[in-house]
Amino acid sequence: MIITIDGPAGAGKSTVARQLAQRLGFTYLETGAMYRAVALAVHRAGISPSDEAALAALLPRLRLRWQDGRIFLADQDVTDLIRHPQITELARQVADSPAVRQYLGELQRQIGQHTHLVTEGRDQGTKIFPHADCKFFLTASPEVRARRRWEELQRQGFSFTYEEVLRQQLERDQRDAQRSLAPMHPAPDAILVDTSQLTVEQVVDLLEAHVRRRLPVQGIALIP
């Protein structure tokens, strides 16, 4: 069974997807971490994110691995390194590359072949798993999303102002929605959830209820 959770940055996808997967006993996949790990590798290799040929040559050598909620490059756990704002910016550029999108899309589908999955990103319900059993699109107001991101940056020790974070986020939203390759939009059959006024627990409860309603149809036994 495949459950997809898409939506913009700051909508709360990662936390919700991780907790939902835990409740159901499914594997959790954070596809943004894959784009970020490629960005880190691109940074280390000194390649331009717009050099398609260099990216295509780099990808098969990465040994990118997602395991138990952590992301690895070769055998190095880079889960924490990829949260740096510089990598966030580079990941956005790397995500525009057709070679990268194709490579990571295949990797994501391979993971989905072997396990029940809760996967989150921007294109999981639209491009990667169009036949997913249950699709969600999480949103929240730009102000709420920027505040969540700002609080996360504060915790990490970065001294951006809230206004800066909000401005950057609005720019990023616009680019995500307008890019020609895999623009972000809800799948027609996705359930839209606005998380602005909800706690994480309330969102997970809501999604879990939707999924469990589908289960008799799927005939899948879940953790009670």
Q: Specify burial of residue 56 (Cβ count, 10 A radius: 0-12, 13-18, 19+).
A: middle
State the DSSP code for 190. P
Residue 103 · residue 87 · CB < 8 Å = no
User: How far apart are CB 219 and ligand DC at their closest, in Å?
Assistant: 29
Q: Which is nearer to ligand DC, 88 or 211 (CB)?
A: 88
Which residues, at least 6 apart from 168, have a Cβ–Cβ distance to it below 8 Å?
none
Between 25 and 98, name the residue whose CB sits nearer to ligand DC.
Answer: 98
Q: How far is the CB of 91 from ligand DC (least distance, A)?
A: 4
Question: What is the closest distance, in whole angstroms, from the C-beta atom of residue 112 to ligand DC in the complex?
Answer: 13
Q: How far apart are CA 166 and CA 142, in angstroms?
A: 7
Q: What is the DSSP letter of 136?
A: E
Instruction: Specify the residue, 24 or 87, whose C-beta has the smaller distance to ligand DC.
Output: 87
Residue carrying the six token digits 């704002």: 85
Could you list the residues that contact ligand DC (CB under 6 A)? 9, 31-32, 35-36, 91-92, 95, 121-123
Distance CA 95, CA 134 (A): 25
> Which is nearer to ligand DC, 48 or 218 (by Cβ)?
48
Least separation in angstroms between CB 51 and ligand DC: 18
Q: Residue 1 or 149: which CB sits closer to ligand DC?
A: 149
Classify residue 116 as exposed, middle or buried by CB count within 10 Å of its CB (0-12, 13-18, 19+). middle
CB of 37 to ligand DC, least distance (A): 10
